[in-house]
Amino acid sequence: MIRATCASLSAVAACCLIGCQKPDPYATDLKSILANPSPELQGVAETPDDVNRNLAINFNSNMRQASDDLGRVFLLDRPSFGSPYPIVNTTGNP
């Protein structure tokens, strides 16, 4: 009984040590390098963080420009030039 218990505990310990190994993130063997020569890059020269940052900046810029575009569509971005009198600049910009 004791021998069976020790054998089963040894088998469980061996399975735990073998089954829980993670792949090496810095694998330098030839097979790993040939499978993925540039693991950190998503494009030609950008990591996934670079791509996400560029997308966030472009989306932010596009949303800020949308209000300017709507002002131009509805002709609200500048005063009328049809008046014979000088129009005061009310934007605060010289």
Residue ranges per structural domain of the chain? 26-81
Q: Is 21 exposed, middle or buried (0-12, 13-18, 19+ CB in 10 A)?
A: exposed
Side-chain-side CA neighbours of 56 within 13 Å: the count stands at 6
- Of 62, 59, 90, 55, the closest CA to residue 76 belongs to 90
Summary mean pLDDT of the chain: 79
Regarding predicted confidence, which is higher, 58 or 79?
58
Percent of the chain topping pLDDT 90 = 24
> Which of 23-37, 46-60, 80-94 shows the lowest per-residue confidence on average (mean pLDDT)?
80-94
At CA 76, angle to CA 80 and CA 74, rounded to 5? Answer: 115
| pTM score | 0.48
The DSSP symbol for 92 reads S
User: Would the pLDDT of 19 be above 60?
Assistant: no
